[in-house]
Structure 1
Amino acid sequence: MSTKNVTVAVLTFRRPAALVAGLLLMLRQIEALAEDASRGYTARIVVVDNDPDASARDVVADLDHPAVDYVVEPTPGIAAARNRALDEAWSSDALVFIDDDERPRAGWLDALVSTWREHGAAAVAGRVVPVYPQQVSDWIVDGGFFVRRTLRTGTRVAAAPTSNILLDVQYLASRGLRFDARLGLGGGEDTMLTRRIVRSGGDIVWCDESVVEDYVPEDRATPKWVLQRAWSHGNTSTNVDLALAPTPGERHVIRTKAVVGGLGRMAAGAAQTGFGAVSGSNHHSARGLRAMFRGAGMTAAAVGVVYHEYAKARRSEAPMGTSDVTDSTV
């Protein structure tokens, strides 16, 4: 079996402390490869800094590690940064994405690579588990907003976020697949790419043994942030559907379904919120509100509204993340 070359990409935007913590844990796993050639792959890290002021340069320089490269992608937006990572990994066999505010658990990289080699998949998606701040409201915990899915390893999925994913670089190259620059500031570029992988005949398989921890900052563990994110996800998912539709007729159908589905979610969410208020259930109150906001985002997209999530994130100096909140359709 030939030795594979793997590039791990960490996109960052003004998050030096979180970046260092994650890089140190990644390097432990990469350094272990040098002591065990039987694993059949080598790995390096590339940090893609989306800050034109190169604020992460000193962080990487201080590490002074031969397995870590640093580049600046000055074009604003997460799609541009992800495409820069693709360019940096073009001679590699696989590209792994992990967020700058995540920390990998032991065996994270081995599990992704092993599953990829076993299944010959175009992509492998791993698990993300939340780690809450010490002070967090019951509303956030009971709502389960940051809890992601878990599946049996080898399960095929139709789409996946890029918070913990391996992409087969040669598969992408052979089909001309890249992240859609039109979604650079709005988000959804990961969903768009992974859905295109499946449409082109590739498989995305799940790896439950590959786990990263998502450290939820205090400013995200709030009802305001969660509900805003729900609106954004509803808006983005519908806009991705519209972008993938090849004809005006299909786009009309998608808009109609988004209006009907969005209004339906708003009505169901209102009922669930009311039940939660009467029964004293934080879970139902929280999930109902989230459904209402997601439905509102879908309906807005149907009439042409596009929410630029990462334009706002750049103004508030938020990290280069992906789906920070569960992608449930509820």
Structure 2
Amino acid sequence: MSETTPAETVVIAVLTFRRPEDIALALPRLAAQALDAQAAARVLVIDNDPDASAREAVQAAAAESAARVDYVHEPRPGIAAARNRALREAADASLLVFIDDDEVPAAGWLNHLLQTYRDTGAAAVVGPVISEFAAEPGPWIQAGDFFRRRRLPTGTEVDVAATNNLLLDMERIRALDLEFDERFGLSGGSDTLFTRSLAARGGRMVWCDEAVVVDNVPRGRLTRGWVLRRALRSGNSASRVTLELSRDGIHTLAARLRLLGPGTVRLAGGSLRYAVGLLSRSLSHEAKGLRTAARGLGMVSGAFGYVYAEYRRK
């Protein structure tokens, strides 16, 4: 175990919904990160399944772990409710680190986040996500770069982030009175709104390129339908977040008009590129054209108030 700083406490929060197998795989690795952390760290599982399906897997992992592994049940539906539960459970902690239940941290992940936080004094530190696949993605999926994510030099300032690899300074989160908007709980985008609000209120966010987590992509996500729906949701959420950040009616109207322009351009330009791809038999133009068009459609629909609920439950 590495030397710890007793005054600094860290909660590693992993949110889960009906993925007991993924949780059973992730928890030993997260517990190892907590034990090796250069701070006092514990793992916290937030089970968002009304049936509490992760309870047994978490209890089994906790019994076998030398690190502290806690379980809480948050039955209110939606990922935003689970994220807010994590904020409440970490109210007395110095730092809260979010990671997804289908992700595995690379060696040194947590300590890299901590070191960048200490070096920069940022309110939040963001790390990269690398995808690994249950099966080789088809040529069309690969040509569209649907799973390519950004990589930036460590220390680069960013103004938006997801919660799939995110460290938060809880003192500053409390001071800024930030929480996740639960109206975005079943549509996605509550993390985008949260981090954009953090940046807008003066909270500095920086990138740590060494703090890598690996996203395990199942076969069900390696389809044209899934990746295009994700692109549409991304555009839809981006528009809704922009509207939410508008302060009054006049600003909201202006924001709608600003969103309609780029959204329409993406929809039209992407459709044209898709057509060119079909005629030229270029998978790259075809796939990237549809990806752009789907995001544009999401932006336009979001500007008009439509909510695409990707995480709606049956």
Match of 1:78 in 2: 79
Structure-2-length-normalised TM-score:
0.95
Deviation at 1:2, TM superposition (A): 6.3
Match of 1:310 in 2: 311
Match of 2:209 in 1: 208
**Across the two proteins, how many residue pairs are aligned to each other?**
307
Query: What amino acid maps onto 2:56 in structure 1?
Result: D
Q: 5 Å matches for 1:316-327?
A: none
Q: 5 Å matches for 1:1-330?
A: 3-33=7-37, 39=38, 41-63=39-61, 64=63, 65=65, 66-311=67-312, 314-315=313-314
Match of 1:36 in 2: none
| Distance in structure 2 (CA, Å) of the matches to 1:150 and 1:280 | 30
| 3-state SS of paired residue (1:186) | coil
| Distance in structure 1 (CA, Å) of the matches to 2:69 and 2:169 | 20
Segments of 4+ moved more than 3 angstroms: none
| Distance in structure 2 (CA, Å) of the matches to 1:239 and 1:60 | 35
| 3-state SS of paired residue (2:40) | strand
Question: Mean Cα displacement is larger for which, 62-71 or 145-154?
Answer: 62-71
Deviation at 1:277, TM superposition (A): 2.5
Query: What amino acid maps onto 2:212 in structure 1?
Result: V
Query: What amino acid maps onto 2:182 in structure 1?
Result: A
Deviation at 1:90, TM superposition (A): 0.7
| 3-state SS of paired residue (1:208) | coil
| 3-state SS of paired residue (2:210) | strand
| Distance in structure 2 (CA, Å) of the matches to 1:122 and 1:70 | 26
Structure 1 unpaired stretches of 5+: 34-38, 316-330
Deviation at 1:198, TM superposition (A): 0.8
Deviation at 1:260, TM superposition (A): 1.8
Deviation at 1:259, TM superposition (A): 1.8
Deviation at 1:182, TM superposition (A): 1.7
Query: What amino acid maps onto 2:305 in structure 1?
Result: G
Cα deviation code 1:278-313 (max 9, x no counterpart):
3332222111001111111111112221112221xx
| Distance in structure 1 (CA, Å) of the matches to 2:112 and 2:277 | 40
| Distance in structure 1 (CA, Å) of the matches to 2:102 and 2:237 | 22
Q: Answer whether contact 2:135 2:218 (CA < 8 A) is retained.
A: no
Deviation at 1:275, TM superposition (A): 2.7
CA RMSD of aligned residues (A): 1.3
| 3-state SS of paired residue (1:232) | helix
| Distance in structure 1 (CA, Å) of the matches to 2:135 and 2:226 | 18
Deviation at 1:270, TM superposition (A): 1.6
Query: What amino acid maps onto 1:43 in structure 2?
Result: A
Structure-1-length-normalised TM-score:
0.90
Cα deviation code 1:231-264 (max 9, x no counterpart):
1111111011111100111111111122222111
| Distance in structure 2 (CA, Å) of the matches to 1:29 and 1:248 | 47
Q: Answer whether contact 2:23 2:58 (CA < 8 A) is retained.
A: no
Deviation at 1:20, TM superposition (A): 1.3
Cα deviation code 1:160-180 (max 9, x no counterpart):
011100011110101111111
Higher relative contact order at CA 8 Å, sep ≥6: structure 1 or structure 2? 1
Structure 2 unpaired stretches of 5+: none
